[in-house]
Amino acid sequence: MQRSRLLLAVALAGLAFLNFVGGLSAQPAAGAPERILQQSPGIALGTVGRGGGLSEEAKALRALLRQPGATARLEALFRTGSPIAQAYALAGLKYAGSPRYRSLARRAITRPGQLRMITGDVVRRVSWREFMQRLDRDYPTLP
């Protein structure tokens, strides 16, 4: 009888420990939003797909904007990120009301190359100039 109680107590303690460890891993890791934005194949600020849900990247951008030091982290992402990550960083700086947004946007407009932009279920390539124009015109606030 006493042995079965001991085994039950050990099993319950083990389950509690696994639940605790599982809860820790469910917390977003530092830098997780930046990693999602860095690995994105295209920029999607609005809803995507036939269901019209937010992209994982738009959710990551929202999460980043809610974190302390978001503006500094977005500026770092603009300096060091992939072109798509840089586009997300510019959008984030705009939504955060950063005074640096306008100067960085002026620089971005003159960049060569194209970005893969996803709108609804349409994927197309746009120039940096077109992206910046669409960001200002079509996405005044984060969806």
Q: How far apart are the C-alpha atoms of 95 and 120, rounded to whole Å? A: 21
Residues listed for the chain: 143
**Average pLDDT, integer, range 8-24:** 39
d(C-alpha 89, C-alpha 49), whole Å:
23
- pLDDT (average), residues 53-68: 92
pLDDT at 14: 45
Task: Write the CB contacts of 32 (distance below 8 Å, at least 6 apart in sequence).
Answer: 60, 63
How many CB atoms are located within 10 Å of the residue 92 CB? 26
pTM: 0.76
Going from N- to C-terminal start, the domains of the chain cover 30-138
Are 134 and 143 a contacting pair, CB within 8 Å? no
Percent of the chain with pLDDT over 70: 78
